[in-house]
A and B are shown apart, each in its own frame.
Chain A
Amino acid sequence: MMTAQAAVSAVELRGISKFFNGVPANQEIDLQVRAGSIHAIIGENGAGKSTAMKILYGIHRPDAGEILIRGDKKIWSTPAQAISAGIGMVHQHFMLAGPYSALENILLGVEIANSSAPLLKRAFESLARPVDRKGAKARLDRLADQYGLRKIDWDLPIETLPVGVQQRVEILKLLYQEASILILDEPTAVLTPQETEELFSNLKKLTKDGKTILIITHKLKEVMSLADEVTVLRAGRVVGRRAVADTKVEELASLMVGRKVNLKIEPPSKPVPRDPVLEISDLHLSTAPGRARRVHPLEKISFSVRGGEVVGIAGVEGNGQSELLQVLLHPRDFSKRNSASVAHATGSVRCLGRVTLNERTRLRAEEIKLLGVGVIPEDRHREGLLLERSMEENFLLGHQKRSAFSSKGFILRKSLRESALRAIEVYDVRPRVIDLEVEALSGGNQQKLIIAREFECEPKLLIAAQPTRGVDVGAIEFIHRRILEAREKGAGVLLVSSELDEILALADRILVMYAGRIVAQFNRGEASEQVLGLSMGGAHA
C-alpha cells in the first residue's frame, strides 16, 4: 500500500508490543519508514508514540515484535547500541548540560558511546586521550556547511544560547555521531514560528542528503507542511497510515481522536466591555541582591483585563511569563520585607477591585484566590495537582475553605463527594473513578480535572497558563470552548500561551512578551502569525 514496500525501509517495526504494569502501551505496532523521508508519528497523549520511539532508540525493550534497520533485524538493550546502528534522538526536553559550552555538550559521551570496548576500558581510554577540540570544531563546522545549518558559536555556554540554537546543537550532535536516522520528539514545542520554519527547512535539507527523519508531534499543521508520510496511533495501536499528499488535517484529527473533531472554534461574539478585573501598572521585578538563583526580570508591565474579554500573552517560553504569573498569585513572596524572597516586585496590581500589590499591601495567595480568581497553572503536574492523591482530594484543593466543602474546620465529605462526582461528569473527566489517583489519568483528563475544579466556583478572573499544553486534540477543543464560555458569562481571562493558534483563536487582545517586557499589542484580527512571530523573536523590542 505504500511506496516503502518497493525498497528496503530505513526503519521497520513489526508487531511491536509493550506493556507497563500489565497496561498495554504499544500493541502490534507496524511502521515502515522510507529512507530519506520525513515520517511523522502522531497521536493523542498516551497513544504510545513516545513509547514506540523509545523502543526504537533502545530505552525500552519490546515485549514482542522486531526492529529492522535497513532490513537487518536488531535487538538492543541500551541506547548505545541503537546509536552505533546510526539512530539518534532529540528529546522533547533537551539533554544538555547548561554551563558547558556548545562544543563540550557535543563531545560529552560521544567517544564512549561509539566504542564497543568494555565499559571500564572505554572510560579509561577517554580519560587518557586528550579531546581534540580543534579537530572536533572543524568537523562540526564542515557538517554544518554540508547540511546548510547556520553556524554556531561553539565556545559559549549552552544555556546562554537561544532555544532554537540549542536544538541545532542537539541535531549537530546526532550528525557528529554519524546518525542517519533522526528521531525528534515534539521538536517545535519551544520554538517561535520563525525558528520552526528554519528547523523545517533544515530537516528537509537533511533528507536530501539521505538522512531519515522520524518526528513525533501533535501539531497537525506541521505534519502537513513537513512530513512525507504519517502514521497515526491511538490507544497503543496503529490506526492509520497516509501519504501526506493524500490526506487532510481533518482526516488526521478524526483518526487520532476516533471521532469527528471540530477544529475551528466559531469566532466569539464581540466582547461586551465591563469593569476591569485585573489592572497591572508599572510592574517591575528584579532579583534580590545577593541571591544566587536569578529570576527573569520584568520591566514596566502595564495592562488590564476587563470582564468579558480574553487577553492573551504570547511569547516564547522563558521571557518572563512564569515570573509574571508568580507575582500575580504570590505578591507577598516578592516583597522587600520578606527576607526569604528571591526577587522584589514593585508597581501595583488590582484584582477584582482589591489592591493585591503596591508599596504597602501584599495580599497572601489565599486571599487572592478567595477574591474569585481561578488558576490553570503552567505546570499542571507540579503546580496544579497532587499526583498521588485521589481525584476527589484534588478537586478539593484550593476550595478547602469554601463553605460548600467545610464547616467549622471539618471537611464536609458528603457534599464534597457529590460535587466532585457531578463535576467530573459535567467536565467529562475519564475514567469516572473518584478515588483514582490523579497520576493514572491521561494529560488531557488531568487538565480537565483542573478546569472542573477552577470553573466550579465561577471565577470572575481566570488566569490560564498554557491551558492545552500536552493535551490531545479532543481535550483542546473542550478546554477552548470552556474558556470562551467563561468569557461569555462575564469573566475576564488572562491567557498565557506559547501556542500561537490558541492565542489567535481565543484572545480579544494580544500582548507580546519578550525579554520581560510587553513589546507589542494587537486587537483581534490585527495580527497575523507572521507578525506575532516576529515580535515574539524581539523584532519590535
Chain B
Amino acid sequence: MTFLRSRIFRSLQPLLAVLIGLVIGLLITRLAGENPWHVLKILINSAFGSRYDIGMTLFYATPLILTGLAVAIPFQAGLFNIGAEGQLTLGALAAAAVGCVFPDIPWPLAPVLAVLAAFFVGGFWGFIPGWLHAKRGSHEVINTIMLNFIAAGIASWVTLYVLKNPESQNPETKAVGAGYLIHHFQSFGDAPLSSAFVLAVVAAILVSVFLWRTVLGFQLRAVGQGESAARTAGIDSGKMKIIAMFLAGGLAGLVGVGEVLGNAGRFRLGFSPEYGFIGIAVALLGKNRPAGVVAAALLFGALHKGTSDLDLETENVTRDLSLILQALIILSVSAVGLWDWFNKGRPMVNGGRT
C-alpha cells in the first residue's frame, strides 16, 4: 500500500491510466467482433510503421503540444483557459494576414514576422480574459468560451470578405508569399512535418525553464498554488494572471505557424479539429508540466494517426476508435486522480490543525 502512495507511483499514474484506457478500448473492439491484438498491431503500425507514419504522428502532435501548454500555464496560475481554440484561430489568421498583405518579404524575415504576428495576436486574445479576470473579477472560463465564438466570427468575416481566395470555392484566404513557407523535413516522406514541430518543442522547454527557474515563473505558480499567500508575499496576483493568459494565448497562436506556414500556405476556415479543446485533455494527462504535455501530445498524435487506417484495414472498427480511446484515457486519468484526491481528502493526522 505504501508503494501506491509513493512519489514514484504518483508520477507513473498517467502511464497507468493510459494503459487502462487502452486495454478497455481494445476490449471494446472485441465486442465489435475484432481481434484486439490485430487492432493493436494496426494502431502501432500505422502510428510508427514507417518514416511517413512517424512524421504524421509528430505533425498531429505539434499543435497539441502548443495548446496543451496554453492550458497548462494558466492552470499553474490557477486559471482555466478554455479559449485556446479562439486564440489559435486568430493566431493563424494573423500569420496568414501578414503573409497576404506583405507577400514580397523575403525569407527568413517573413516567417519571423508571421510567427511574431501569430504569437502577439493569440496573446492578445488571451490577455483579454486575463485582464478582465484580474481587474474586473469576471470569470475566465466564461470569457474564454465567449471569446472563442467571437474569434470564430472574426475569422469567418476576414476569410470570406477581406482576404478571400478568388480562385477557390473553399472558405480560405489567399496564399501567403513564397518567402513565408518554412522548412519541411525531407526524411519523413510526404508528411508535412515542418520546423513548427521544433518550434513547439523549444516552446515547451522554454516554458519549463520559465516556470521553474525564473522569478516570474515562481511568482506565477505561487499565485496558482495559494493566491492569498502569494499576495501576502507581495506578489501582484493580477499581473501574474494576465501574464499567464497572455503567454497561453501566444503559444496557442503559434499553432498557426505549423498550419499556415508549414502546411496549407494559407488560412483555411475550420482547419482545427478542436485542437484547443484537446489541449485541455493533453494538459490534464501531462499533469500541467511541459514535459508531460509533450509526452501526452505525442500520445494523442499517435492515437490520431494510428486509428486513421482502421477504416480500411478492419471490418467493424472505424477511426472513431481514436475518440473512444482518447475519452477512455481521460476517464482513467480522472479516475486515478479521483482516487488520489479521495485518499488525500481524508484527514491527515489530527486534520492538520487542532
- Residues of A participating in the B interface, judged by any CB pair closer than 8 Å: 20-23, 25, 45-51, 54, 60, 92, 185-186, 216, 218, 236, 329-330, 339-340, 364-370, 375, 377, 379, 381-389, 393, 396-398, 400-401, 406, 409-411, 413, 439-440, 443, 470
Contacts and interface: CB of A to CB of B under 8 A. Distances in A.
Interface string B205-222: 000000001111011011
A386 B76 CA distance: 13
B178 to A, nearest CB: 39
B169 interface: no
Query: Ordered nearest first, which 9 A-B pairs have the shortest CB separation?
Result: A398-B233, A366-B234, A369-B234, A386-B225, A365-B234, A25-B349, A383-B232, A383-B228, A397-B233
Given A386-B230, A413-B213, A443-B352, 13 more contacts: A45-B350, A51-B350, A339-B136, A365-B232, A366-B234, A379-B228, A381-B352, A386-B222, A400-B215, A406-B215, A411-B214, A443-B354, A470-B354
B31 interface: no
Contact of A364 (B136, B221, B234, B353): B234
B354 A216 contact: yes
B226 A387 contact: yes
B229 interface: yes
Contacts of B353: 45, 381, 443, 470
Contacts of A388: 225
A368 B234 contact: yes
Given A218-B354, A386-B222, A397-B222, A20 B348 contact: yes
Nearest to B237: A365
B234 A20 contact: no
Contacts of A60: 347
B108 to A, nearest CB: 28
Nearest to B346: A20
Interface residues on B, range: 35 or more
Given A375-B232, A383-B229, A393 B354 contact: no
B214 A340 contact: no
A216 B353 CA distance: 13
Contacts of B235: 365-366
A389 B221 CA distance: 10
B308 to A, nearest CB: 40
A227 B150 CA distance: 68
Contacts of A367: 234
A410 B214 contact: yes
A409 B218 contact: no
Given A386-B226, A387-B226, A388-B225, A23 B232 contact: no
A51 B232 CA distance: 32
A49 B351 CA distance: 11
B2 interface: yes
Nearest to A397: B233
B183 interface: no
B232 A384 contact: yes
A380 B264 CA distance: 54
A185 B236 CA distance: 38
Interface string B261-293: 000000000000000000000000000000000
A50 B351 contact: yes
B137 interface: yes
Interface of B: 1-2, 5, 135-137, 213-216, 218-219, 221-222, 225-226, 228-236, 343, 346-354
Nearest to B343: A21
Contacts of A47: 350, 354
B354 A340 contact: no
Contacts of A381: 352-353
B154 to A, nearest CB: 28
B5 A22 contact: yes
A379 to B, nearest CB: 8
Nearest to B233: A398
Given A45-B353, A400-B215, A20 B225 contact: no
Contacts of B229: 377, 382-386, 397
Given A365-B232, A382-B229, A386-B225, A409 B135 contact: no
A385 B230 CA distance: 8
Contacts of A410: 213-215
Nearest to A378: B232
B202 to A, nearest CB: 18
28 contacts: A20-B346, A20-B347, A20-B348, A20-B349, A21-B343, A49-B350, A49-B354, A50-B350, A50-B351, A51-B350, A51-B351, A329-B232, A339-B136, A364-B236, A366-B234, A369-B233, A381-B353, A382-B226, A387-B225, A389-B221, A397-B230, A398-B234, A400-B233, A409-B214, A410-B215, A443-B352, A470-B353, A470-B354
A23 B352 CA distance: 13
B137 A389 contact: no
A49 B346 CA distance: 17
A439 B221 CA distance: 17
A189 B218 CA distance: 36
Nearest to B224: A386
A22 B214 contact: no
Nearest to B225: A386
Given A50-B350, A384-B232, A397-B233, A411 B218 contact: yes
B179 to A, nearest CB: 34
A218 B215 CA distance: 40
A366 B236 contact: yes
A329 B231 CA distance: 9
A20 B343 CA distance: 9
Nearest to A185: B354
Contact of A22 (B2, B232, B236): B2
Residue of A49, A50, A377, A385 with highest tally of chain B CB at under 10 A: A50
A389 B350 CA distance: 20
A393 B2 CA distance: 26
Contact of B354 (A50, A365, A375, A406): A50
A381 B348 CA distance: 15
B215 A401 contact: yes
Contacts of A366: 234-236
Given A365-B234, A410-B213, A411-B218, A385 B350 contact: no
A280 to B, nearest CB: 19
Contacts of B5: 21-22
A110 B135 CA distance: 45
Contacts of B218: 393, 396, 400, 411
A134 to B, nearest CB: 39
Which of B2, B221, B235 has the most CB atoms of chain A within a 10 A radius of its CB? B235
Contacts of A413: 213
Contacts of B1: 22
A7 to B, nearest CB: 30
A389 B136 CA distance: 29
Given A21-B343, A22-B1, A46-B350, A409 B215 contact: yes
A2 to B, nearest CB: 25
Contact of A370 (B219, B234, B347): B234
Nearest to B347: A20
